[in-house]
Structure 1
Amino acid sequence: MKGFKLTICLVLLLSMLAACSKGNDASSKTPANGNKQGGEQTQQAEKEVKLTFFNTSAEVNEVFEKLFKSYHELHPNVTVELIPTPIGGAQIEKFQSLLASGNPATIANLDAGTILQYKDSFLNLDSEKAKYEGLTKPGAVEGALLDGKFLGIPWTAQGYGLLYNKRAVEEALGGTFDPASIKTRDDLEAVFKKIQASGKAPVMIHGADWSLGAHYLGLTYSLQSDKVDENRKFVESLESGNTKLADNSQFNGLMDTFDLLKKYNARQKDPLVADYNKDSADFAKGEAAFYFMGDWTWAVIGPLEGRDKEFGVIPVPISNNPDDYGNSQIAYSEPKLFAIDNSGSTPEQQKAAKEFIEWMVTSQEGQDAIISQMGLSMPYKDVKVKGTNIISDAVSKYVDQGKVMNIGVINYLPQDYWSKTGASMQKYLVGKTDRKGLAEEVQQYWEYQGRK
């Protein structure tokens, strides 16, 4: 906000100086050099700058376009044009074609892993790092670093774990539910047993490969350490074959918990249907008390008629030792970052892009668009807008307490890791392979990556 105000003041000041200069020309014959300098400054201040914005959050294209218009009204010399991408379409291929054609977008809203892949094409924002460390919650900038460089500005955050429907849980328990009471796997099963005895389904597992491969099995790579670099070393040791997944305690603990979820799964009869809208809606209406999912599901749950009103989230317990890493932390990441092109953009465009991004994440209007209209959570300290996403609010409480698991290691994983290993998890979910077979398939995937 400070940068935004400074820009407005500068434009006004330069405009006033130019006006005074013209008035002096008529009455006092100001030296020519003075006129020239003032004219150049005014011309520079009013120079038109066009920015293009490549957006992979396609479901909120219209919200971004409204923001672009609002910013143009405040800064008539800056125009921001959307480069839309289809939902679930060939987004990266389009980004690659723009880059290859020498006509890259000035700003790109991309997954952190994609920014890392094309890191040489993006502006190093280390000069902005201290500012954003001051604006964001602790760990937000650190979580956005890619190979130690600040290449993308965080603007939204997501968390996931075991969501719970408060009414469904408390009706089954016959009293108040304290989420902090679940510290271990046995604690979780004790609650599941009571819910099942009441006639309700204890938990919902969404059977899609992205949920099973990226979000569930993917926890294995983040549970090794609270440091991303250590988790990267673990993945490298899987690739080299020096570490065997079957012998890893975090993997086995995670799968022991998965066995528990399988046992009490509301979709036992047909676990691979994976109808995301139906699973989310059934959970929202109390058909299942818990749901392994993230706060992004609010896009489905929020608008539903007849849904329950109160929801929360707890970590996925991976052992019976409450002190083990992961038992009190929910998975948390900044899935998208704003990156600025450094391959074809001018210094004027880069400067304008920095100012525009800062306005989007700090202004009332920008935060309202992101939080209220997009339904997302922001990892910023001074949030001026109250969101409607109840699950994001629950995630934020863990963030404020520092009880989050940094899953940034996924930014360094191959782009197909979740689909390949997710297919193996699907086989395990329906009983077509056992724990040993699952571990062997996932191990083979990583060792293949190591040979590439």
Structure 2
Amino acid sequence: MKRMKWLHIMAPTAALALVVSACSNGDGTTNTGSNQGSAKEIKISLLNSKGEIQTQLEEAAKTFQKDNPNISLEIMAAPAGTSPFERASTLYASGNPPTMLMLDTGDVEKFKDRILDLSGEKWNADTVANATDLTTFGGKNYGFPLAVEGYGFIYNKAIVDKAVGGSFDPSTIKTTNDLENLFKQIEASGKKALIISPMDWSLGAHFLPLAYAGQNKDMAEVNKFIDSLKAGKAGLAGNKVFNGLMDTFDVMMKYNIDQKSPLTGTYERGGELLGKGEVGVWFQGNWAWPQIKSFDSASGAYGFMPVPISNNAGDYGNQEISSAVSKRIIIDKERSTPEQQEAAKKFLNWIVYDQKGQDFLVNKASIIPAFKNITLPAADPLGKSIQAYIAKGKSEQSMSTLPADHWAKVGASMQKYLHKSADRATLVKEIEEYWKSVK
């Protein structure tokens, strides 16, 4: 989910093309030369809003093209600092949308009149439970569920084991006090406890939404709570879950390695400090594994522990990890030709059913698949940890349908709180005002 988280991470500005040279026919196809007779090359493109897998997607496009010589696939990177919804809207406004667009779950409905109904695709029957619920409107599914993602506190096991004097068990952290005691132990061992990544998408799309999802196990009740916020009938000042979560955030701020300059950190810095063992804990999602792995030179052992929201161990949310199907791929029907649409469908089927496509998804991109037929185990410790929480029934559904501007606007309010340029009363006021402005 990067953003969450998921949520989530912006790719480099450059849009990289993986194409073969040919002569254009002006209809999305090109002649490929006399060796293939009348065969035509079909050019398709994909907007990637999951920047940490840009390179892996480019390699997948090359492999897919080897298997399908008449189809060339261009992987376009979403510009840094732009939400998938904003980029997709800009591309449609320019009259030049890509064939496929990778969006956050909540954005799919906004484009449903411009995208293809995918209900007839075989993979619908092979998705995990509820994978297409949030992209189905009027009985038609419009989104391909690309990834299951989860987030919470990632811990470096070698660092935490040393701090606790044995093998660390994440289930022992059941309250905010337990968390602070762990932070104290880590610092007593000579390491810094944690790092807070200050990006608005991390704070606004991942951390704060725990206060919404934690209101009730029943998502219908959570949705009612959100509706009450929109109507100005629900407040956060006296809300137990919100205040409990922010009490935990206060503890995080106290032990943040960057507390002297809390807004200067970058996403990459978090992965570096955790991977090198300079901090024991980092709030982030399983999408961060490639960054952590690139700096890890020790055990490679990492896992998740939930974010506690109270000092009552039995409260819902204290022992659950946040997870959901996050990124979705949609297919344009407004500008793409029928041939391009069929080629795009072929690529999606290649991901689900071809061994090379599955290898890209699980082993190369470190993605937890949203399809039952893909039985490859998670390739990294973070994916395995998320899968273990889900298998134990210890998962809390992520807030996948928040408004497109939530992470930017409310994330900015969280940044002010992190910087201590706003107190909790101001934060409450700004969050409540945001929700009342949502139509």
TM (norm. structure 2) is 0.81
Query: C-alpha displacement at 1:357, in angstroms?
Result: 0.7
Kept in 1: contact 2:132–2:143 (CA 8 A): no
Does residue 431 (structure 1) correspond to residue 420 (structure 2)? The answer is: yes
For the structure 1 residues 204 and 447, does the alpha-carbon distance in structure 2 shift closer, same or farther, using more than 3 Å as the test? same
Measure, in 2, the Cα distance between the counterparts of 1:422 and 1:87. 19
Measure, in 2, the Cα distance between the counterparts of 1:296 and 1:59. 7
Match of 2:77 in 1: 85
Q: Which runs of no fewer than 5 residues in structure 2 stay unpaired?
A: 1-37
Kept in 2: contact 1:203–1:265 (CA 8 A): yes
Match of 1:396 in 2: 387
Does residue 254 (structure 1) correspond to residue 254 (structure 2)? The answer is: no
SS at match of 1:411: coil
For the structure 1 residues 66 and 435, does the alpha-carbon distance in structure 2 shift closer, same or farther, using more than 3 Å as the test? closer
Does residue 295 (structure 1) correspond to residue 283 (structure 2)? The answer is: no
Measure, in 1, the Cα distance between the counterparts of 2:157 and 2:287. 18
Of 295, 311, 317, 2:302 maps to 311
Match of 2:254 in 1: 263
SS at match of 2:374: coil
Match of 1:99 in 2: 92
For the structure 1 residues 194 and 81, does the alpha-carbon distance in structure 2 shift closer, same or farther, using more than 3 Å as the test? closer
Match of 1:416 in 2: 405
Give the counterpart letter for 1:301 in structure 2: I
Does residue 122 (structure 1) correspond to residue 115 (structure 2)? The answer is: yes
SS at match of 2:237: helix
Does residue 274 (structure 1) correspond to residue 254 (structure 2)? The answer is: no
The correspondence of residues 30-179 of structure 1 with structure 2, limited to 5 A, is 48=40, 50=42, 52-56=44-48, 57=50, 60-76=53-69, 78-82=70-74, 84-88=76-80, 95-96=88-89, 98-100=91-93, 104-128=97-121, 131-132=122-123, 134-142=125-133, 145=136, 149-179=140-170
For the structure 1 residues 89 and 256, does the alpha-carbon distance in structure 2 shift closer, same or farther, using more than 3 Å as the test? closer
Instruction: Report the RMSD for the aligned CA atoms in angstroms.
Output: 2.9
Query: C-alpha displacement at 1:236, in angstroms?
Result: 2.4
SS at match of 1:320: coil
Deviates more, 1:153-162 or 1:379-388: 379-388
Deviations 1:304-326 (A, max 9, x none): 25354210001111123333221
The correspondence of residues 343-422 of structure 1 with structure 2, limited to 5 A, is 343-347=334-338, 349-383=340-374, 385=376, 387-408=378-399, 410-413=400-403, 415-422=404-411
Match of 1:205 in 2: 196
Count of residue pairs the alignment pairs up: 400
Query: C-alpha displacement at 1:75, in angstroms?
Result: 4.0
The structure in which a higher percent of residues are helix is 1
Measure, in 1, the Cα distance between the counterparts of 2:347 and 2:374. 17
Give the counterpart letter for 2:158 in structure 1: R
SS at match of 2:227: helix
Deviates more, 1:146-155 or 1:297-306: 146-155
Kept in 1: contact 2:47–2:98 (CA 8 A): no
Deviates more, 1:119-128 or 1:377-386: 377-386
Query: C-alpha displacement at 1:60, in angstroms?
Result: 4.1
TM (norm. structure 1) is 0.79
Kept in 1: contact 2:158–2:299 (CA 8 A): yes
Query: C-alpha displacement at 1:327, in angstroms?
Result: 1.7
Measure, in 2, the Cα distance between the counterparts of 1:53 and 1:212. 31
Does residue 283 (structure 1) correspond to residue 274 (structure 2)? The answer is: yes
Give the counterpart letter for 2:407 in structure 1: W
Give the counterpart letter for 1:421 in structure 2: V
